[in-house]
């Protein structure tokens, strides 16, 4: 990367060494792209862009002084402070320089995808996120099916502000992270038009067995799975034979998909005749397992992976990885502390601390 401190950069210009510049989520996406994994393209508003936004808006002084002296048990005080801070951040202007850079990269991404005002997911990526010893994932906001520069700029600001949710602030206090030491990057990624999506663990979260992979899926976007709003389909797959050892197909009553009129993510009811139908094809399960094994091999540790099957793409090239992070809940257990077996959906909720993604 020619400029080591850019305000905006492409995903493919990042790797696992880029944590300080683009945070855990985007550095992982760049690492995956450079490892040959199929990932939707995108760009990042870096931590340098975040710092410039804070500095030029005079926010650094006001925000961090407002947080000074707060302690984790002070729930109401944290809530009040965070509400004030988020309003302040969302109202602050983005510099002309940064606006122009974001608009230009969005134009290039739209041209690359051959879609005018290409729909994107706007994802927060914190520098303390996805670390092996802490689970910051899911604490900042994500906005789905965002179209147009003006809406994108608004959601970038909202992502910046989400570094100061009451839950994120309380967690940093509990984990001993200084607020000033955690920066935020915003990833802007082409939105996969998910026919099916979900999560995959490259171990069995019920017992830590690394010879198995567990896949959870539902129709539409993956937010219904990650947020716990639906009990997803669950597949236990043998890593060696790729055989589905166990499958559970519960009744799935809701899913998220794009509203073509408002161009936004919307919750829908699953038609009655599809509620107990398997939401993912077996050949896509096999492809996911192959990709999961490759990602785990690349990182050398069990991984927690979000994926989607793009309904607009032909079979064989339609399974995409949206993000991958080290699995933390089981990996942080000591051998002597093995918990009672839990389902993968309980594991997901423990990982994201029951946080819902915002759409």
DSSP secondary structure string, 96-108?
Answer: HHHHHHHHHHHHH
Q: Is 256 helix (H, G, I), strand (E, B) or coil?
A: strand
Q: Which residue(s) pair with 43 in the sheet?
A: 10, 188
Q: What is the mean pLDDT of residues 333-342?
A: 49
Give the torsion through C-alpha atoms of 270, 272, 273, 277, to 10 deg: 50
| pLDDT at residue 210 greater than cutoff 90 | yes
pLDDT of residue 311: 86
| pLDDT at residue 129 greater than cutoff 90 | no
| pLDDT at residue 204 greater than cutoff 70 | yes
| pLDDT at residue 42 greater than cutoff 80 | yes
pLDDT of residue 3: 61
Task: Quote the CA–CA distance of 234 and 198 in Å, as a whole number.
Answer: 10
Q: What is the mean pLDDT of residues 190-218?
A: 94
pLDDT of residue 337: 52
The pLDDT mean for the chain works out to 88
> Does an H or E element contain 189, and which?
strand 184-190
Q: How many CA atoms lie within 13 A of 169 on its CB side?
A: 27
CA-based nearest residue to 155, from 30, 45, 54, 47: 45
Task: Quote the CA–CA distance of 349 and 228 in Å, as a whole number.
Answer: 7
pLDDT tens digits, 75-108: 899 999 999 999 999 999 999 999 999 999 999 9
- Which tops the pLDDT comparison, 339 or 319? 319
CA torsion through residues 7, 122, 232, 286, sign: negative
CA-based nearest residue to 27, from 234, 247, 185: 185
Tell me which of 3.30.9.10, 3.30.540.10, 3.30.1490.20, 3.40.50.1220 is the CATH number of domain 8-190. Answer: 3.30.1490.20
* pLDDT-above-70 percentage for the chain: 87
pLDDT of residue 80: 95
pLDDT of residue 128: 66
Q: What is the mean pLDDT of residues 62-70?
A: 91
Q: What is the mean pLDDT of residues 192-213?
A: 94
| pLDDT at residue 156 greater than cutoff 50 | yes
pLDDT of residue 182: 87
CA distances from 308 to 23, 201, 249, 296, 338 (A): 22, 14, 18, 18, 31
| pLDDT at residue 2 greater than cutoff 60 | no
CATH 3.30.1490.20 boundaries in the chain: 8-190
CATH 3.30.470.20 boundaries in the chain: 194-351
Task: Quote the CA–CA distance of 42 and 187 in Å, as a whole number.
Answer: 7
- Architecture in CATH of 194-351: 2-Layer Sandwich (3.30)
Single pTM value for the model:
0.79
pLDDT range class, residue 177, cuts 50, 70, 90? confident
């Amino acid at each position: 990367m020619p400029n080591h401190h850019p305000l905006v950069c492409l995903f493919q210009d990042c790797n696992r060494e880029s944590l300080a510049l683009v945070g855990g989520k985007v550095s992982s996406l760049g690492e995956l792209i450079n490892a040959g994994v199929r990932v939707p393209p995108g760009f990042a508003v870096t931590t340098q862009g975040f710092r410039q936004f804070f500095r030029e808006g005079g926010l650094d002084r006001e925000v961090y002084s407002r947080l000074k002296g707060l302690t984790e048990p002070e729930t109401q005080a944290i809530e009040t402070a965070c509400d004030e801070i988020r309003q302040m951040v969302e109202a602050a202007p983005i510099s002309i320089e940064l606006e122009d850079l974001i608009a230009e990269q969005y134009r290039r991404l739209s041209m690359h995808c051959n879609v005018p005002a290409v729909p994107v997911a706007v994802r927060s990526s914190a520098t303390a996120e996805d670390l092996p010893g802490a689970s910051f994932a899911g604490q900042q906001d994500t906005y789905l099916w965002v179209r147009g520069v003006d809406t994108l700029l608004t959601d970038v600001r909202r992502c910046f502000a989400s570094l100061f949710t009451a839950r994120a602030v309380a967690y940093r206090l509990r984990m001993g992270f200084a607020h000033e030491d955690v920066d935020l990057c915003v990833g802007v990624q082409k939105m996969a038009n998910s026919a099916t999506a979900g999560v995959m663990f490259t171990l069995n979260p019920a017992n830590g067995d690394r010879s198995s992979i567990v896949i959870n899926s539902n129709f539409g976007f993956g937010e219904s799975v990650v947020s716990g709003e639906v009990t997803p389909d669950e597949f236990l797959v043998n890593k060696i034979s790729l055989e589905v050892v166990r499958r559970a197909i519960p009744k799935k009553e809701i899913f998220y998909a794009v509203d073509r009129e408002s161009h936004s993510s919307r919750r829908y009811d699953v038609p009655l005749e599809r509620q107990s139908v398997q939401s993912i094809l077996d050949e896509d399960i096999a492809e996911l397992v192959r990709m999961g094994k490759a990602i785990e091999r690349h990182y050398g540790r069990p991984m927690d992976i979000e994926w989607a099957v793009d309904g607009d793409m032909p079979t064989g090239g339609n399974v995409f990885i949206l993000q991958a992070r080290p699995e933390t809940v089981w990996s942080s257990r000591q051998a002597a502390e093995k918990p009672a077996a839990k389902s993968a959906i309980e594991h997901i909720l423990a990982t994201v601390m029951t946080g819902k993604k915002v759409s």
